[in-house]
Structure 1
Amino acid sequence: MMREIECRTGDWLINAGLTGFINIVGKENVRIEGQSLFFDAALLDGFEESYFAYFIKAYEKTLSWYKIISYKEEMERHREADFSDFDELSLDRLNYYIANVAKYYLKSSSYVSAYPLIDATKDPVEWGKNLAKVGQLKKKETFEEKRTEIIQNVKQVYIQLDEIIDFCQKGKRYLAAKNVIYTVIKNGWNGISFLNPQTKEKDCYIDYRTNFVNPVLEHLETDLEKAKFNCTTCNEPIKNMKLDLSFMNETGFDTARKTSHVWDFNNDIAVCPMCKLIYSCVPAGFTYVYGNGIFINDSINIDTLHAVNKKVHNEILHHSTDNLTSTSPYRALIEAITNQTEDKRHYELADIQVVRYENETYRFNILSKRALKIFRESKEALKTIQKCGLKEGNLNINFYQETVRRLMNNENLFTFIHKTMYLKVTNVSSTYYHMGHVGALLSINTNFLKEIEAMTDISKGQIWHINKCGTEFKKAYPENKLSGFNYKILNALKTNNRDAFMDIILNSYSYLGKAIPDFFLKAFTNDETFKTVGYAFMVGVNGPLENNENGGNKDEE
C-alpha cells in the first residue's frame, strides 16, 4: 500500500514549489490542512507527464510551437473560400510566416534535437530549407496582374506547410516541451537533468523522471532509522548530503566549490529527494511573461497561497493573452489583491511578500496593509496609466510599472511626476501620455502621502480646483511667456524653493492684474503639500485633466 506524503509551507522558495506542485497535479488530487499538504505517493506515477503538460497548457499560446501550428487556421480558411479572399495582405502574412516562423524555428537546435524522438524518418530541417517566399513582385507589377500565378504558387507552398504543421502537431509532446524548458522552466532552475548541457538522455521526460521522481520513490523504500543527516527544508532524515540546492537559480550554490558560504566551511545544507522534486516545481508556482516572473507569498495557509497566485496567473495569461507586456505581472498583482468582489479576504490580516523575477535575479517587496489600501483607493487612476510610457535612450519606462514599483518600495512619485511633466512641457519626443495622465500620477501620489500621514490637508476636490485655476491662468497668460514660466516654476518645485515659487506666482498674477488664489498659502504647510499644490497647478497650466485610458503608442506599453 502506498504511503501518504506530507509537505509543509516554509520560506518563499518552498512555498512557490508547493504552489507549483498543486498546479501540476491538480488541487483535487491533494488534501490541504492549514499549512500542510498531503498526497498519496501514487500521484508520482507519471508525474513527469503532468509536469510538462501543465507548462505546455499554461503557456501554449506564447510558444514558438504554437506560432508554427496556428497558421493552419488561416490556410484552411483560404482553401474553403477557394482563395477568393486571398489578397496582398494575405500574401504578406504568408511570406512573413515562411521567413520568420517556419524557416526560423525548424532549424533551431532545441527543435532539431527533438526530431528523432518524433519520427526519425523525417527531416524538417530540409523542409525548412526548401521553403521559399511566394509571389515576389517586381517593379511596376501589381498583385492583381499576377494573382492567378501567385495563387498557384501559394497552393504548392500550402502542401509543403501541411507536412510541416502536421509533423509539429504530432510532435507537440516534445517540441512544446522544448519551448517551455527554455522560456519558463529555465527561469527557476538550471544545470541538471535536461538543462545539463552534458546530459546523455535525449528524452526530457525520461531525464526528469530519472533526476527527480525515481529518487523520491527510492527514498520512500529506504530504511532511514539509522540516518545521521536531516533535510534542511523539512527536517526528514536522509542517508547522505549528496542532494543540495545548487541547481536553483540565484538561491542555491555549489556546496563543494563555495565552502565559504556555510558556517565554519562545513556544509550542512542538503535536501531530501521529495523537497528536491518540490523545488523543481518552483517555475510552476511563478507566472512568467517575457522572462519576468511574479509570485505572491501570502502564506497564511496553502489554500490562500494557491488561490491568490492562481488569480494572478489567470489575470496574466488568460485575460490578456492578446496583449501580454512586461507590465502584465504588475497589473495582475494589483488586480488580484484589490478585487474584493471576487475574494472576501481583504488582505488586511498581514503584510504580503511579493517576489519578482526580473533580469535573471529575484527582487523582494513587502506589500504592507498601507500599500494595499493605496492600491485599492488608486485602482481607477492606475487603470488610466496602464498604456502610458516614455523613452529615455534605449530604455522604455512604463507609467504603471514604475508607479507600482515605487509604491511597493514606499517611495513617493514626485521625482517621476517632475520628469514626466518636464518632458511634456519641453516637447521631447517619445512621450506617450498627456497631462491628464500626469494628473493621475498626482492623484495616486496624494493617496500615498495621506496614507503615510505626510499630507492630510488637501482633498481630491481641492486638487481638481487647483488644476482648474491652472487652466484659467493659462488662458489669460501670454502664450509667448508660458515656456519661461513653466521652466522657472518646475525648477523651483524640483529644488523645493518655496520663496522662488511664490515670487514667480506673485509676479505672474500681478502681470495679469488678478488676485492670487488662496490655496497657494497652503504651499507653506510642508514640502509634500507645496509640491502637490505646485504640480496640480502645473497640470492645469499645461493641459486640462482628461479622463483617457490610453497613453498612446502601444509599443511603449
Structure 2
Amino acid sequence: MSSGYITITLKDFLFNAGVVGFIKVLRQEGFNLEDQDIGNTIHVPVSLLENFHENYIKALLNTFQNETLYQSLINQFEHFAGIKPEDIPKEEYKSFIEKLCNKLTSASYKSGYQIIAEKGDDFDVLSRVKMLKTEKDIQKSVSICYELIQYMKKHRETLCMKDIIYTKIIMFWRNVAFFERSNIRKDIKECYYNYFVKPALEYLNRKNKGALQCIQCGNPINASLGMGMSWLNDVGIDMERKRSHFWNFNPDTYICPVCALVYSCVPLGFTVVGGEAIFINNNESIHTLVAEKDIFERGGEKYTTLNQLYYKVLYSFIDDAAQEQTREIQNIQIIRRVSVDTDTGKYVFNTLSKPLLEILKACKSNFKNLINWTFKKDKDTYVNVYQEVANNFFSGRNQYALVHAILQKVFTENLRAPYVRDILQIQRRRMRKFYSEEGGSEAMYISRKEFDAAYNEGLRIRREYANTVTNVKGDNDKNMKINESLRSFVYPLLLALKTKDKAKFNDTMFRFYVGRNESIPKILIEMQQSDEKFQMLGYTFIAGLQGESLNSENAENIVNEEGE
C-alpha cells in the first residue's frame, strides 16, 4: 500500500463480494470507480475511511430497508391511515396489529429502545403496545398506532438496522461488533466503528506492523493487530479454541484490519432478498463485478427471489447483462447463500460455461412453460417441475427420472402434464450442445427431426385411439378412456426405459404394432443404437402418447397436478 492510499485486489469469491460492497459504501462518500484503472485492483484514499461507519449504515439502509418488516409495517399503517376508520377491514387490521405488537416487543427492538433512551428519547413504547393490544375502538387504536409508527420513523437508524442486522448481515457474519452480547444495547454505528473502522485506521498509521503476513493481501501483520476469520459464516476456525490446528499451536492465519473491513461489506456485495442471496463472481475486473451488481439493483423486483425462483432471476439477469455489456458473458460463477434451517445457511456454487449459457438461451421458452407447474409425486411430496428441471440442468443430471415419474402419473391417475415435451427438449439441447462443443459421443447428437419423429408417432397413435372413443361426456372422460386403453402398452415401455432394457422395449413394441397390423416405425428401431438415444427418444415417444403439448401462449392455463 502506498502513502495516503490503500490498495484492494480481487481474491476469492467472498472477498470479491466484500470488494463490491466496499465500493458501494465508498460511493456514499463520492468515490468514483470510473476514475480507477479497469483491472482487478483499486486505490482508495485513506481519508475515505474516516466516515466509513456512517456510510456503511447509510448503504445498508438504502439497500435493505424496503425488504424489512420495519418498512412493511410502516407501509401497512399508511394504507390504513388513508381509509376511514369504519371502512378498515377488521381481519386485515387485526393481523397488522398482531404483527406490529410482536415486532415492537421483540428482544432486538427492546435493546433498541435502550439505545434510543441513551440519546434522550424516553418515549414508552411498551406501555403504548399494552394499550394497543386491549383497545377496541378503531379510531383510538389507529391513533396509538400513529404514535408508534412516528417513533419508528424517527429512530429508523436504530430500529430498521436491528431488522437488517438479524435478517441480512447475520447471513454472512456474526459474533463480533454489534452481535456481541455486551454490545446489543450500544449504538450500532459506534460498535461497527470500534470493531472495524478504528482498527483499520490505527493499522494504517502504525509504522511497525509485524513480521507475519495477512493471508489475504500479504501485508505485514502481527497477532495483536490481526483478526481471525471465524466470525465469517462457514469460513475459518476459532483460533482461541482450536489452536491445535496450527503448527506448534501458534495461529498464523490472520487477516489485517483493512481486509476485515472489506469482509464486513460482504452483505452489500451479494444481492439479498428474503432468505436467499446471489453473487455473480465474474472476476475479470472490479468494474465488471460492480456493473453486474448494478444491473441487479436496477432490476428491482424483477430480480427478487422473494416471490419467484432463483433460476428465473438468473435467466432475467443474464439476458439483461448480455445486452448491457459490449461482450458476451461467459464462464460465470454463481454463488448463492441459501438457508438450511432457521439458524444456518450454506454457500451453493454453479459455474455457467459458455456452452451452458448458450443452451440456457436456446431453452428460454421451454423453461418459461414450466413455471408454476407442480405435480403430486406421492401422498406427501409435491414436485416443482421448474425447479427440478433447473436443478438437473445446472448440476449436469439428466431429466429422465423426473419425466418417468410424471408420465407414470399421467397414465395411472389421468393427470395432465402439458409440458413434458419441453423438459425433453431441454435435455436434448443439452446433450446435443455438449456433443458438438465438448467432445461428447456421437450418440448424444439427437436432431430435431429425430425428436419430432418420435413424438409425432406417439401423438399419431393417441389421436387414432381418440377417434375410437365414443359416448363420453367431455374431454376429461375421453382422456381417461384413452389412457386406460394405452396403459397396458405404456407401463412395460416405461419400465424398459428405466432399466435400459432394449429387448423388453422391442418386444413390447413388436406385439403392439403387429396387433395393429403395422410395421414398427424406423425411428423406434434406429433409436435403440445407443442408450442415450434409446432413453431420449423412448420417453419422447411416450410423451407423444400422453397428448398434445400446449402452446407457450397458453402457459397461464397450466393446471397443477395436485389431484384437484
Q: Under a length normalisation based on structure 1, what TM-score does the superposition of the two structures give?
A: 0.86
1:435/1:544 contact within 8 Å kept: no
**1:20 to partner: Cα distance:** 1.4
Counterpart position of 2:328: 346
Q: Does 1:165 align with 2:149?
A: yes
**1:553 to partner: Cα distance:** 6.1
**Counterpart among 301, 309, 315 of residue 334 in structure 1:** 315
Counterpart position of 1:403: 389
After superposition, what is the alpha-carbon deviation per residue over 1:415-447, rounded to whole angstroms, capped at 9, x for unaligned? 22223333444339xx9xx52332221111111
**Structure 2: which 5+ runs fail to align?**
436-440, 466-480
Counterpart position of 1:420: 406
**Counterpart among 484, 488, 496 of residue 488 in structure 2:** 484
SS at match of 2:279: strand
**1:134 to partner: Cα distance:** 8.5
Counterpart position of 1:522: 526
Superposition pairs for residues 81-480 of structure 1, below 5 Å? 86=87, 90-99=89-98, 101-118=99-116, 120-132=121-133, 153-199=137-183, 202-224=186-208, 227-240=210-223, 242-263=226-247, 265-315=249-299, 317-319=300-302, 324-325=306-307, 327-328=309-310, 330-339=311-320, 340-348=322-330, 351-358=331-338, 359=340, 360-390=345-375, 397-427=383-413, 434-453=416-435, 454=441, 455-477=443-465, 479=482, 480=484
**1:210 to partner: Cα distance:** 0.6
Say if 1:299 and 1:166 are closer, same or farther in 2 by CA, change over 3 A. same
**1:14 to partner: Cα distance:** 1.0
**1:406 to partner: Cα distance:** 2.5
Say if 1:156 and 1:48 are closer, same or farther in 2 by CA, change over 3 A. same
**1:132 to partner: Cα distance:** 4.2
SS at match of 1:549: helix
- More displaced 10-residue stretch of structure 1: 118-127 or 66-75: 118-127
CA RMSD, Structure 1 to Structure 2 (Å): 2.8
- More displaced 10-residue stretch of structure 1: 280-289 or 245-254: 280-289
2:453/2:523 contact within 8 Å kept: no
Say if 1:500 and 1:549 are closer, same or farther in 2 by CA, change over 3 A. same
- More displaced 10-residue stretch of structure 1: 207-216 or 357-366: 357-366
Superposition pairs for residues 63-74 of structure 1, below 5 Å? 63-74=68-79
Counterpart position of 2:555: 549
SS at match of 1:361: strand
Give the Cα separation in 2 of the matches to 1:394 and 1:157. 43
After superposition, what is the alpha-carbon deviation per residue over 1:187-220, rounded to whole angstroms, capped at 9, x for unaligned? 1111111112343652111111110011111111
**1:465 to partner: Cα distance:** 4.2
1:476/1:512 contact within 8 Å kept: no
1:357/1:363 contact within 8 Å kept: yes
Give the Cα separation in 2 of the matches to 1:10 and 1:414. 39
Give the Cα separation in 1 of the matches to 2:413 and 2:58. 51
**Counterpart among 59, 62, 68 of residue 64 in structure 2:** 59
**1:449 to partner: Cα distance:** 0.6
**1:457 to partner: Cα distance:** 4.4
Give the Cα separation in 1 of the matches to 2:156 and 2:82. 23
Say if 1:465 and 1:49 are closer, same or farther in 2 by CA, change over 3 A. farther
**1:270 to partner: Cα distance:** 0.6
Give the Cα separation in 2 of the matches to 1:465 and 1:295. 42
Say if 1:202 and 1:444 are closer, same or farther in 2 by CA, change over 3 A. same
Counterpart position of 2:478: none
2:376/2:561 contact within 8 Å kept: no
After superposition, what is the alpha-carbon deviation per residue over 1:70-123, rounded to whole angstroms, capped at 9, x for unaligned? 0133223314xx85xx27xx2221122112x21221111111111233354222
Say if 1:4 and 1:441 are closer, same or farther in 2 by CA, change over 3 A. same
1:436/1:539 contact within 8 Å kept: no
Give the Cα separation in 1 of the matches to 2:194 and 2:375. 49
Give the Cα separation in 2 of the matches to 1:23 and 1:235. 24
Counterpart position of 1:45: 50
**Structure 1: which 5+ runs fail to align?**
136-152
Say if 1:131 and 1:366 are closer, same or farther in 2 by CA, change over 3 A. same
Say if 1:461 and 1:175 are closer, same or farther in 2 by CA, change over 3 A. farther
Give the Cα separation in 2 of the matches to 1:326 and 1:464. 32
**1:245 to partner: Cα distance:** 0.8
Superposition pairs for residues 1-80 of structure 1, below 5 Å? 3-26=4-27, 29-31=31-33, 32-33=36-37, 34-79=39-84
Give the Cα separation in 2 of the matches to 1:415 and 1:221. 62
**1:260 to partner: Cα distance:** 4.4
Counterpart residue identity of residue 7, structure 2: E
**1:231 to partner: Cα distance:** 1.0
Say if 1:324 and 1:471 are closer, same or farther in 2 by CA, change over 3 A. same
Give the Cα separation in 1 of the matches to 2:364 and 2:461. 31
After superposition, what is the alpha-carbon deviation per residue over 1:307-333, rounded to whole angstroms, capped at 9, x for unaligned? 223334554x43255x724723x3222
Counterpart residue identity of residue 90, structure 2: L
Counterpart residue identity of residue 331, structure 1: K
Counterpart position of 2:477: none
Give the Cα separation in 2 of the matches to 1:332 and 1:9. 25
- State the identity %: 28
Give the Cα separation in 1 of the matches to 2:303 and 2:218. 41
Say if 1:521 and 1:200 are closer, same or farther in 2 by CA, change over 3 A. closer
Counterpart residue identity of residue 337, structure 1: I
1:30/1:37 contact within 8 Å kept: no
Give the Cα separation in 2 of the matches to 1:196 and 1:352. 36
Give the Cα separation in 1 of the matches to 2:513 and 2:296. 51
SS at match of 1:357: strand
2:375/2:561 contact within 8 Å kept: no
Q: Under a length normalisation based on structure 2, what TM-score does the superposition of the two structures give?
A: 0.85
Counterpart residue identity of residue 128, structure 1: V
After superposition, what is the alpha-carbon deviation per residue over 1:139-163, rounded to whole angstroms, capped at 9, x for unaligned? xxxxxxxxxxxxxx32222112211
- More displaced 10-residue stretch of structure 1: 478-487 or 288-297: 478-487
